[in-house]
Amino acid sequence: MARKHWLLALFSIVLTTFLGLPAAVAAPAAPPGAVTKGEDPANGPDRNEIAAGDPAAAVATLAAGENQAGAREGYPRQTRLRVFPEDPSDKSIKLGLVPYHAIAPRLNALQARSDRVSVEIAGRSTLGRDLYLVTLTAPERPWQTRLQDHWRELIENDPVRAARDPLLEREYKVPVWINNNIHGNEWEGTDAALRLIEHLATSNDPKVRRLLAEHRIYFNVTANPDGRVAGTRGNNNGFDLNRDFVTSSQPENVAMREIVERIQPVMMLDEHGYVEGTLIEPTGPPHGQNYDFDLYIRHGLANGLGMEAAVKALGFPEAQNVIIPFRDIPPGEWDGWAPIYTAQYSMFHGAVSYTIEIPLQVNNNAYNTLPVDELRRRAAINTAVSESSMRTTLDYVDLHDGELVDNQIEIFRRGTFGEPQRFIPDGFVPGFGPEDRFTTQFPRAYVIPVGPAQRSAAAAARLVDHLVAHDVRVRQAVRDFRLNGRDYPAGSYLVDLHQPKRALANVMLENGRDVSNDAPVMFDISGWSHRLLWGASVDILASGQLHVPSRPVAAASPTGGVDPAPGRDLAITVRDGKDARAVNDLLGRGLELRRRADATVLVPASARADAIEVANRYGVRFTVAPLGDPGTVLRRPTVAAAVAADELFALRDMGFDVRPVSTATLNAGFDLSRIDTLVVSSGLRVDQLNPAARAALDAYLARGGGVITRGATGSRFNADAGLLQLRAVPGKSDANGTVTVTNAPGVLGGDGLPHSFVFAPQWFTDLGPGVTVEQRYGPGNPLTAGHWLPNDDGTGGRDAAAGQPLVVSGTDERGARVLMFGSEPLFRAHPKGLFAQVANAVYWTGSASCCDSARDAIAPAGPDR
């Protein structure tokens, strides 16, 4: 876009900013109305075989730094970055790449040399390392920056006016985002970015100066600095950050989410490794059904082909067989279905997005076995390939920036006016066919009720806040209203799908789709739903008009409180992870609570002040303690967990005192005498325990120590330890998705959600005496959304699972209480409405051992227990 007419632009900003004339005043009113991938799915056997350690103890949290630039300043926005101590153990050093501690000095030096480069702290990693957002653009005065902000907001908030604005067309600085090193042991994107940053900041080439006069180029230099230093794929919590975008459980993902919302790029790259020959998206099918795919694929494929040509032109033999999944890979092997990846998530914010996989492996076994010279040779080639993808993309944007802005405007316009997705004919771009055609029917709105119709007020508030944080527009009714034959009280929330980012709203709230027949395999999860799995009641309004007096929501209304009058005993039913967090908080204060069989926890009237504090902290509600069953004493349970990293995170998020264990930990003499419940899903094998560890386990079970299992590793532990009599039947190992379930009154509370989540599902048959079914798969076809085919021999399919026990419990002959999950209630910390199932399992299984007189003699209860 040409950079002219700043006088007219200044006049525009005087009207809109200094004279207080909002953009909406002048706006017309809207009408009513099977490639082998170095990129692991991170859900292979390792999730069930390698137990999580204790990441909190791995490295001391680093001191925080702050930005110096104000939010409304112009450019450059320069920050004097704190310099981290030199770390000779940084895994990037061996590869001849830039260690994390050297990045800040390099960026500080560039800021001193050039007024085209700005650096801000976008957030901090789990361990407190700074996340550097670098912006390359020509200098701007504050009023010019405010005008750019105004235009960016206009594109989203009033796309009709934006499309007609001649100043925006000529003067808008088109944004591009390049994200790097989201997997910590895929290093080279960071180094390519640093090279390109220096070139753009210092070059006297007129082409570069013009590029920066007309665009803003944003670099997230390293999205995962903890993983970069440690040489791990995940962050310090063990999470794959490229699977967390619609969950946002990790601080690094929150930072990336805020970047893409703030800058609203028209194009973005996410730099990864390693796929032999190089891989450049667009993906193959299935494609996400909520996208306006016609507005993505034309530019997506064209720039993909351009990057392919540029990579080949580098002349490296190892980078000649470039793979473009849309063109080259069968359906499902590199799909774009799930919204969990950086590239696929960014598309919901209006970007033409790509995952780039550089060619030569330097991580994992290669890192440990190849000579250093060979590793550095490979890393140098990888860096060149990565930089080539960045330079080619900038050239493409420079040539097509007006079309790309129009593209983004049209995405938001269709959403705002609730227009249907367009039919894309075969041959729309070369290779587009019926296998690429995925669309959905957007409902008119979703309603999140408050009051008696809401299953969990805390869960509803969490969902509302989550949607708002993702730039989904939510409104709150100011009066009672009626929709679709149902009455709703004032305070209920509405998500009107006539909004710019309707696709993002819908991908979170819809059921999803069964894609089992659309592809023989899928790369990762194929089913998710915040509406079905996050614990809140959400209604669908399929069609019609919304005439509900309401106000926009910036944050959900407070939900916590204590209903009974002073002097009355209190009760809280554990239906949500927040309820468990509140109970564990109270237990941690040394209060004596009691638990009933229906998962209700009784709190004495004397603890009212504590209850008020935790109610406000976690948004939970205490009601009057019911008459009848006085319950059994509940003490703060101590949990030993041989689990995957995501499960460890979720258990601690609920406030449990968790000690990570594994086969090696037990063999080293871990003391089980102070443990109430042992959770086993990964990294613990009875047949691999030494005699002393096996004796300690037997003693633990003999005193009634509780056991919770999940998955194949858990079922094997049950069999090898001689616990419950049953047969665990595995489903297809890659099957996953949202399933219907029926709940029985019992350990899980009896009023659980009617859906659950499975990955490598199981069910249980041939149940022995005393084994109770807590939850079953739904009848018929239990798969609501996802991908679940039978094995080649016909076994392991969803039809075989229908009606079968999914969660079972029982007490073994020694008195140990055992609960077994065939589902995935803590998967990637996502299905938050299922967390309470695990919490109730912990309370139930641990209650047999917590009151045992021998254990009480060893470890008397106290405030720190």
Q: Is 534 or 37 the better-scoring residue by pLDDT?
A: 534
Please check the confidence at residue 48 and state whether its pLDDT lies above 90: no
Q: What is the pLDDT of residues 445-496, one digit of tens each?
A: 999 999 999 999 999 999 999 999 999 999 999 999 999 999 999 999 999 9
| Confidence at residue 751, expressed as pLDDT on a 0 to 100 scale | 82
| Nearest one of 777, 96, 836, 301 to 533, comparing CA atoms | 836
Mean pLDDT of 430-440: 97
pTM: 0.92
Please check the confidence at residue 151 and state whether its pLDDT lies above 80: yes
If pLDDT is split at 50, 70 and 90, which confidence band does 734 have?
Answer: very high
| Confidence at residue 66, expressed as pLDDT on a 0 to 100 scale | 56
| Confidence at residue 163, expressed as pLDDT on a 0 to 100 scale | 98
Mean pLDDT of the chain: 92
Please check the confidence at residue 623 and state whether its pLDDT lies above 90: yes
If pLDDT is split at 50, 70 and 90, which confidence band does 41 have?
Answer: very low
Mean pLDDT of 526-554: 96
| Confidence at residue 856, expressed as pLDDT on a 0 to 100 scale | 36
Structure token digits, residue 27: 């706006």
How far CA 707 is from CA of 238, 393, 555, 563, 648, in Å, comes to 24, 53, 39, 35, 15
Number of Cβ atoms within 10 Å of the Cβ of 528? 27
Please check the confidence at residue 863 and state whether its pLDDT lies above 90: no
Mean pLDDT of 766-786: 97
Single-letter residue type at 489:
P
Could you tell me the strand order of the sheet in which 117-124 lies? 117-124, 130-136, 215-220, 174-180, 267-273, 352-358, 279-280
If residue 287 lies in a helix (H) or strand (E), which one and from where to where? strand 284-287
Angle between helices 645-653 and 577-588 (to 10 degrees): 60
Asked if 128 and 61 touch (Cβ cutoff 8 Å), the reply is yes
Please check the confidence at residue 3 and state whether its pLDDT lies above 70: no
**Pairing assessment for the beta strands 600-603 and 762-765 based on DSSP bridges:** unpaired
Phi, psi of 304 (to 5 degrees): -60, -45
Phi, psi of 65 (to 5 degrees): -120, 170
Q: What is the pLDDT of residues 374-397, one digit of tens each?
A: 999 999 999 999 999 999 999 999
Please check the confidence at residue 143 and state whether its pLDDT lies above 90: yes
Single-letter residue type at 595:
R
| Confidence at residue 749, expressed as pLDDT on a 0 to 100 scale | 81
If pLDDT is split at 50, 70 and 90, which confidence band does 53 have?
Answer: confident
What burial letters (b/e) apply to 35-62, b meaning 16+ CB within 10 Å? bebbbeebbeeebbbebbbebeeebeeb
Measured in whole angstroms, how far is the alpha carbon of residue 179 from the centre of its chain?
16
Alpha-carbon distance of 649 to 838, in angstroms, equals 13
What burial letters (b/e) apply to 679-706, b meaning 16+ CB within 10 Å? bbbbbbbbeebeeebbebbeebbebbbb
Alpha-carbon distance of 12 to 28, in angstroms, equals 17
| Nearest one of 646, 561, 608 to 239, comparing CA atoms | 646
If pLDDT is split at 50, 70 and 90, which confidence band does 855 have?
Answer: very low
Mean pLDDT of 520-542: 97
Mean pLDDT of 683-708: 97
Mean pLDDT of 218-237: 98
Phi, psi of 762 (to 5 degrees): -135, 165
Mean pLDDT of 349-366: 98
Q: What is the pLDDT of residues 786-820, one digit of tens each?
A: 999 999 999 999 999 999 999 999 999 999 999 99
| Confidence at residue 67, expressed as pLDDT on a 0 to 100 scale | 60
Specify the long-range contacts of residues 486-493, CB closer than 8 Å, at least 24 apart.
486/539, 488/447, 488/449, 488/453, 489/449, 489/450, 489/451, 491/450, 491/451, 491/557, 492/447, 492/448, 492/449, 492/450, 492/451, 493/447, 493/448, 493/449, 493/450, 493/460, 493/464, 493/553, 493/556
The terminus-to-terminus CA distance of the chain in angstroms comes to: 64
The answer to which of 65-69, 183-187, 226-230, 479-483 has the lowest mean pLDDT is: 65-69
If residue 179 lies in a helix (H) or strand (E), which one and from where to where? strand 174-180
Alpha-carbon distance of 443 to 108, in angstroms, equals 50
If pLDDT is split at 50, 70 and 90, which confidence band does 1 have?
Answer: low
| Three-class HEC string of 295-330 | HHHHHHHHHHHHHHHHHHHCCCHHHCCCECHHHHCC
Residues in the chain: 865
| Nearest one of 406, 397, 404 to 164, comparing CA atoms | 406
The rounded radius of gyration (Å) of the Cα atoms in the chain is: 28
Q: Is 692 or 48 the better-scoring residue by pLDDT?
A: 692
DSSP 514: B
Q: Is 772 exposed, middle or buried (0-12, 13-18, 19+ CB in 10 A)?
A: middle
DSSP 750: S
Number of Cβ atoms within 10 Å of the Cβ of 364? 14
How far CA 235 is from CA of 50, 94, 221, 354, in Å, comes to 16, 20, 15, 22
Angle between helices 372-417 and 206-214 (to 10 degrees): 40
Measured in whole angstroms, how far is the alpha carbon of residue 519 from the centre of its chain?
24
Asked if 839 and 737 touch (Cβ cutoff 8 Å), the reply is no
| Confidence at residue 741, expressed as pLDDT on a 0 to 100 scale | 98
Q: Is 426 exposed, middle or buried (0-12, 13-18, 19+ CB in 10 A)?
A: exposed
Map tokens 């230099």 to a residue. 221
